[in-house]
Amino acid sequence: MEREKAINLLKKYNKEEFHVRHAFTVEQVMRYFARENLKTRSLQQVAQEIQLNKEQRI
Q: How many domains, in total, are found in the chain?
A: 1
Per-residue pLDDT of the chain (58 residues), as tens digits, is 899 999 999 999 999 999 999 999 999 999 998 888 777 777 778 788 888 888 887 6
Would you call 7 exposed, middle or buried from its count of C-beta atoms within 10 A (0-12, 13-18, 19+)? middle
Q: How far is CA 32 from each of CA 27, 28, 49, rounded to the nearest angstrom? A: 9, 6, 18
26 close to 32: Cβ distance less than 8 angstroms: no
CA 21 – CA 38 distance, rounded (Å): 26
- Domain span at residue 21 reads 3-57
Q: What is the pTM of this model?
A: 0.60
